[in-house]
Structure 1
Amino acid sequence: MLPHIDPNQFDLNQLPRALQKMLAREDGLEAAQPPRRAFLKMLGVSGLALGAFPQLASAQGQAPAALKATEQPLAFVRIAPDGIVTVTVNRLEFGQGVQTALPMILAEELDADWKLVRSQLGSNDPAYVDPMFGMHLTGGSNSIKNSFTQYRELGARARAMLLAAAAQRWNVDAASLSTRAGTVLGPGGRELGYGELAEAAAALLVPQTVTLKDPKDFRIIGQPTGRLDARAKSSGGQHFGIDTRLPGQLTALVARPPVFGARVASLDDSAARAIRGVRAVLRVPLDRGAEGVAVLADGYWAARQGRDALKLEWNTEGVEKVDSERQLRQYRELASQAGPRKFDADMAPLDLAPMKIDAEFVFPYLAHAPMEPLNCTVKLEQGGAQLWVGTQFHGVDSAAAARVLGIKPEQVTMHVAMAGGGFGRRAASSSDFVVEACEIAKAARAAGVDAPVRTVWSREDDIRGGYYRPMHLHRARIGFDAQGKVLAWDHALVGQSITSGSVFEAFQVKAGIDGTATEGMRDPYPFPMRLTVHHPKLNVPVLWWRSVGSNHTAFVMETLVDEIARATKQDPVAYRMKMFGDQHARHRAALQLAVDKSGYGKRRLAAGRAWGVAVHESFSTVVAYVVEASVKGGQPKLHQVTAGVHCNLAVNPRSIEAQVQGAAVMGLSMCLPGAAITLKDGVVEQSNFGDFTVARMTDMPGFAVHIVPSAEPPTGIGEPGLPPLAPAFANAIARLTGKPLRNMPFDLSAKPAPPAAG
């Protein structure tokens, strides 16, 4: 049980300043009068909140002022009397496994019994910001990387407090005690479970400094561990954001304009209002100055029928109507023009080089297409609002919701819901789908509809709704000698910037170049490169897509490196190793592991198959692939993938294996016919999985993931498995056909590129 605390008698000044302000603002009360609702919300409503702000339960003194909210165990670990340990995760869980990995890290230092560990998602509380970035963020494969030490220290602080509580009870020195799997061990064989000590431990100060384990003593971290959410997901019991159900809730679907930014010209909603279950039809503002029509109904099907019954005409005047064919011509013109340069090596040796490659690559727009489409539930209340949503930016989104609703950010409570995928789509700095849901809830309230509103996107809305991976064009002219030494590499890159106009522009866009577009270019190879970049502005909303810039730059770099090796009759593995030189030990280790485990160069392949190789670093992790592929009926086929992964310390090898496999499947999807978003006169031509391809079970190759052993702090893993898959596959096909693949998705009927001269 919670220790008895009267919030009306408690001195709010004992709390850290940030939380003093948060409590003082709620309900408009002064700092000396903490509102009971906010106070109890902070403490939690079940079990015992252990650790931070122990002065809430004891007058022994204040917690050290130097500790930040992100360093206090209160918001992160709760131990119930029965010993159940609940760990709060400061990220969105949308398939990457943080709801298991972060509790593993904390439980390791807490020395908890893993069988008794549970997890839950957090909120927009300040304690749950990324400790490195200082904002609520799930992205950039940073969850484990940035919170590894944080969660270790949280666990170690909680353990130290449990030891101190046991020492007081037994009247012994805490240094004489030890712990084992959720139990404090004392002299004479005495034992106390964590659940028995939690209340007393909460009355003690949070230690400011703690000693962490030596990695050689880990018993939870590094073990292949089943996910805590596996049973719920495999049984159909997992609750996602789209499953939110509140009393009296309505469901909203929005009729969106066919061209981005268009508005309603005329509306006849009489047929829609006549449909049983439809409660309201509302014109609402949408993202990027557009306007739409929201149909609110008792459930999804009635809302869908109502939307289909609308008679709408759209005003598309004054908005650009992007056309993919015209866009490609525009990009080709830009690629031949001068522009800002990322690298600027001397290109004089290019014309004199004995061997040359001229190559153009085209990458289309891509939809994120997560299994769970976008959704957000909004409940307006007196003096505030509650939102239920799977979001990667819960702080940014709650601030955006506050702006729309005309309230303060601290009056928005964000319940972070489990999400069924996202791949970057749930991390829009425009907060478009959250803002849209709030606009609908506000319009409903103004129309006299007083009910929670769940706004849901259909699959067609998702595919046509924008915020795609940008279309890119690369053009390369490379001069090299017979030994494969690159003398000059002149490169142009054309594509929309995804950070211009966002909260990330200030530190991502330098000298007119968006760093997310060029990440992965040149390194780790010591090539003299001149890289010119153009960022045209078009009426197509764009956003990061899994692995961001590396999903196109890795393909360009790794297929061209392979092409140089083939042109100079060198083994592609040996050539890469030579290019690494004495640097890039992690690249070398990952590639060598994939080579050794695959049997590359030692095992005879089946007739009609060829090896393909690629290696790439993204988000501080190196992934190398050795693949086997063939061409059947004019179509490329991937048979086997062997991965070598260097992500430093592997917190949960089973989750790493799943993430690499999942990322590789997305990489494979990019290669398949139909994997493109195209536009005709401003209208997106695809609408569902019937005309936007994703890899299916029949496309899945055999897969083996091997991890380079390391005790160094972990790096990212959610995205790095994607970039090298497509180039490894393409390199295998090029060895079979003698023709390099330049475009995505793969097209074996495309005209061959000019052969290397020499």
Structure 2
Amino acid sequence: MGEVRATRRSFLAGSAGLVVAAVLPRPLLAGRRAGVFAPNAFVRVAEDSSVTVLVKHSEFGQGTWTGLTTMVAEELDADWSQMRAENAPANVELYASSIFGVQGTGGSTATPASWIPMRQAGAAARAMIVDAAARLWALPAQEIDVRAGIVSSAASGRTATFGDLAAAAAESRPPTEPRLKTPDRFVLIGRDVPRIDAPEKSNGTAQYGIDVFRDEMLNVAVARPPRFGATLTSFDPAPALAVPGVQRVARIPSGVAVYADDTWAAFQGRDALDTTWDERNAEKRSSEEMMRTWSEAARAGGTVAEATGDAEAALTEAAEVLEAEYQFPFLAHAALEPLNGVIALSAERAEMWMGSQWQTSDQNAAAEVLGLAPERVALNTTLTGGSFGRRTTQDNHFATELSHVARAAGPGSYKLVWSREDELRGGYYRPLTAHYLQGGLDANGNIVAWRNNVATQSLLADSPFEQFVVDGIDGSSIEGSRDLPYALPNAQVTLTTMDSAVPVLWWRAVGHTHTAYATETFLDELLERGGKDRVQGRLDLLRESAVRDRDVLERVAEVANWQGPDAGNGLARGVALHKSFNSYVAMIADVSDDGGQPRVHRVYVAVDCGIAINPAVVKAQIAGGLGFGLSAALFEEVRLLEGGEVETSNYDRYRILRNSEMPEVEVTIVESTLDPTGIGEPGTPPIAPAVGNAWRALTGETPRRLPIVRT
């Protein structure tokens, strides 16, 4: 195949049309160049009236292209059929997130971070098009109307398309503060417009990172240590070079790179290598041994992260004390598309194609390895077949490894692909975690004491993000276990940070994935022991300020017709309530006993995520997040054997939820005029406790160790 060009950068070529650049908090940028605003933009209007939105946040299937394009189309008053989307190039000056200050996607922030900038970009483009029509038609701008992509004047009877006015609009001055619509005037926002990426993903023309090829490109596989923390001592390249198609072998910091004519030859050459590793600093504990250590640490307690009243005294004085220990395994992200990327290196420049989730730091990391200025490293973000946090790491290890592959071989084009085994054995897991909880009840069954001790590995310590570890507390380790919406007197949360050579990483919903299960199942047990209804008991505990928590819990109870945990016909019900990423989610799960393991039949969900840009996308993300969390709760676990080797190697040993096991999902979206909040992750945390609580209603036992189904 011929050389791949980054089409998302073609707007810089000077073709006719209108481009608007919007960057906040700085003023909207405008420039003139052959009828095009330059140098970069969010919105591009072509002579054929198509409108292309340059999306600064990565699209992993979560609907970012559709959501951000809808914001632009709404304020532009475009017809949805006109709209197109492309990934923006890596450019921190223009495309930094208003939340992070760098270009990147994570924490369910793409929509909240874009809510104002993308609407301003569309509103500014509309204002300039209206100005162009007013000048050409010699009419006041107030007499110009725009609807569904048509510019018109009722007084003169004149009409024009965006394309008709693009060249003239390029001469208009962009407004510094374009006026935005109020929610009552929205036409597209809040509607189920078709996903903008659906056609190309359906017909096979969508280009993912793994689809990128270049002429004379070498394919690369890397031999990495068999245990975390081991380093390369020596290797013999001869067996690899004897494999047909293998062209060269080179040592790089992460191991040994094998370059070949095709991926299969690269993998075969990699497997043929004779390597010796220094394992003196390697992690040789099994995951079982680590879990025992983590469990002891949780029981002992750690640094106080939150304290209200005197939990110790209240527990001593309580009429009854319950305790529970919860254990959570390492989890892989297991995205369908494995890590991959292409790099083209010349003497003075480099260009990369990869499913980057954190463009600014990936670009900077590559530049450092290659000895180039960041502006000489072009990073093209491709569509990505899932991420769930995997493609943004504290150390930018994949971009770094890809760059070392190019540096070791010199000028040329190289494609690095991780195999499924590389992915599942390669670390960057959700941390192994233990919780130890104690709860005290008075004689009337009311909760009078609460303690939650957490032991887990830090995601931020010893990384560029270490500055966010405050007073020894990594907030991502305990998020969702403190600042609970419930008025629990005499409550304490502690954290013990554990050490391991296993690299860990944020995983969809991060700390909420274990804290929601521990807090919501333990609370459910306390309510049951105190003779309280699981829904009403939660409502009675909610703080006065927890209005949105109350709304979703009442809504889901109403929709599910909650009458208690016994649903009849062999079904039991469990409820869970959890806020994450500023969105509020309540779930009720209907569960039966299927040969000793839970079978989830139906899940009712109420969600408050502010304005729902596209309700269909919101529902899809809730269902997807729910399935993701259910899969982990029931089946998923990465195991390290005695000696530290990872047992898990492929999907045959990393059991995930099957289509036939996915429950029916009924999502109710709470209507709101508040700014939108995150939706990619909040559907994941509540499903595990909802199922766990239903399982206890069926069997009398809450699963204390996940996954529930152990093999």
TM-score (norm 1): 0.88
* Distance in 1 (alpha carbons) for counterparts of 2:303 and 2:425: 32
Question: Does the CA contact (< 8 Å) of 1:590 and 1:646 recur in 2?
Answer: yes
Q: Deviations over 1:61-105 (max 9, x none)?
A: xx9xxxxxxxx9951111111111101101110011001110000
Question: Does the CA contact (< 8 Å) of 1:669 and 1:675 recur in 2?
Answer: no
- Aligned partner of 2:379 in structure 1 is 414
* Distance in 2 (alpha carbons) for counterparts of 1:326 and 1:416: 40
Q: CA RMSD in A?
A: 2.0
* Distance in 1 (alpha carbons) for counterparts of 2:645 and 2:124: 56
- Aligned partner of 1:514 in structure 2 is 474
Q: What's the offset of the Cα at 1:486? A: 2.0
When residues 604 and 674 of structure 1 are mapped into structure 2, their CA distance, relative to the original with a 3 A threshold, is closer
Which one is further off, 721-730 or 381-390? 381-390
Q: Deviations over 1:128-184 (max 9, x none)?
A: 110232101100000001110111111101100000000000111111111011111
**SS of 1:188's equivalent?**
coil
Amino acid aligned to 1:138: T
When residues 321 and 617 of structure 1 are mapped into structure 2, their CA distance, relative to the original with a 3 A threshold, is same
Q: What's the offset of the Cα at 1:44? A: 4.2
Is residue 169 from structure 1 mapped to residue 130 from structure 2 by the alignment? no
* Distance in 1 (alpha carbons) for counterparts of 2:399 and 2:195: 29
**SS of 2:146's equivalent?**
strand
* Distance in 2 (alpha carbons) for counterparts of 1:47 and 1:279: 45
Q: Deviations over 1:470-489 (max 9, x none)?
A: 01100011112244432221
Amino acid aligned to 2:595: G
Alignment of 1:641-660 (within 5 A): 641-660=603-622
Q: What's the offset of the Cα at 1:492? A: 1.1
Residue in structure 2 matching 1:434, options 386, 399, 417: 399
Task: Give the length in aligned residue pairs.
Answer: 690
**SS of 2:375's equivalent?**
helix
- Aligned partner of 1:247 in structure 2 is 215
When residues 143 and 357 of structure 1 are mapped into structure 2, their CA distance, relative to the original with a 3 A threshold, is same
Q: What's the offset of the Cα at 1:606? A: 4.4
Residue in structure 2 matching 1:353, options 315, 318, 323: 318
Residue in structure 2 matching 1:565, options 523, 527, 532: 527
Residue in structure 1 matching 2:182, options 214, 217, 222: 214
* Distance in 1 (alpha carbons) for counterparts of 2:283 and 2:34: 64
Amino acid aligned to 2:452: H
* Distance in 1 (alpha carbons) for counterparts of 2:256 and 2:152: 64
Alignment of 1:73-472 (within 5 A): 74-125=40-91, 126-186=93-153, 187-286=155-254, 292-337=255-300, 339-345=302-308, 346=310, 347-445=312-410, 450-472=411-433
* Distance in 2 (alpha carbons) for counterparts of 1:731 and 1:338: 26
Q: Where in structure 1 are there 5+ consecutive unaligned residues?
A: 1-36, 64-71, 287-291, 750-758
- Aligned partner of 1:32 in structure 2 is none
* Distance in 1 (alpha carbons) for counterparts of 2:268 and 2:49: 50
When residues 350 and 747 of structure 1 are mapped into structure 2, their CA distance, relative to the original with a 3 A threshold, is farther
Question: Does the CA contact (< 8 Å) of 1:468 and 1:542 recur in 2?
Answer: yes
TM-score (norm 2): 0.94
- Aligned partner of 1:475 in structure 2 is 436
Question: Does the CA contact (< 8 Å) of 2:295 and 2:435 recur in 1?
Answer: no
Amino acid aligned to 2:460: T
When residues 298 and 748 of structure 1 are mapped into structure 2, their CA distance, relative to the original with a 3 A threshold, is closer
**SS of 1:684's equivalent?**
coil
* Distance in 1 (alpha carbons) for counterparts of 2:39 and 2:13: 13
When residues 399 and 679 of structure 1 are mapped into structure 2, their CA distance, relative to the original with a 3 A threshold, is farther
When residues 728 and 603 of structure 1 are mapped into structure 2, their CA distance, relative to the original with a 3 A threshold, is closer
- Aligned partner of 2:25 in structure 1 is none
Question: Does the CA contact (< 8 Å) of 2:363 and 2:378 recur in 1?
Answer: yes
Question: Does the CA contact (< 8 Å) of 1:54 and 1:203 recur in 2?
Answer: no
Alignment of 1:487-506 (within 5 A): 487-506=448-467
Q: Deviations over 1:669-720 (max 9, x none)?
A: 1122353443431211111111111111121111111100111110000000
Question: Does the CA contact (< 8 Å) of 2:564 and 2:573 recur in 1?
Answer: no
When residues 483 and 331 of structure 1 are mapped into structure 2, their CA distance, relative to the original with a 3 A threshold, is same
Question: Does the CA contact (< 8 Å) of 1:649 and 1:711 recur in 2?
Answer: yes
**SS of 1:50's equivalent?**
strand
Question: Does the CA contact (< 8 Å) of 1:424 and 1:545 recur in 2?
Answer: yes
- Aligned partner of 1:631 in structure 2 is 593
Alignment of 1:721-740 (within 5 A): 721-740=683-702
When residues 729 and 336 of structure 1 are mapped into structure 2, their CA distance, relative to the original with a 3 A threshold, is closer
* Distance in 1 (alpha carbons) for counterparts of 2:344 and 2:497: 40
* Distance in 1 (alpha carbons) for counterparts of 2:192 and 2:31: 39
* Distance in 1 (alpha carbons) for counterparts of 2:320 and 2:629: 31
Question: Does the CA contact (< 8 Å) of 1:366 and 1:677 recur in 2?
Answer: no
* Distance in 2 (alpha carbons) for counterparts of 1:54 and 1:242: 36
Q: What's the offset of the Cα at 1:46? A: 4.3
Q: Where in structure 2 are there 5+ consecutive unaligned residues?
A: 1-5, 22-28
* Distance in 1 (alpha carbons) for counterparts of 2:258 and 2:328: 36
Residue in structure 1 matching 2:570, options 599, 603, 608: 608
- Aligned partner of 2:32 in structure 1 is 56
Q: Deviations over 1:403-456 (max 9, x none)?
A: 1001111111110111111111111020001100110111011xxxx4210110
Q: What's the offset of the Cα at 1:224? A: 1.1
Q: What's the offset of the Cα at 1:54? A: 4.2
Residue in structure 1 matching 2:496, options 512, 534, 540: 534
* Matched-pair identity in %: 41
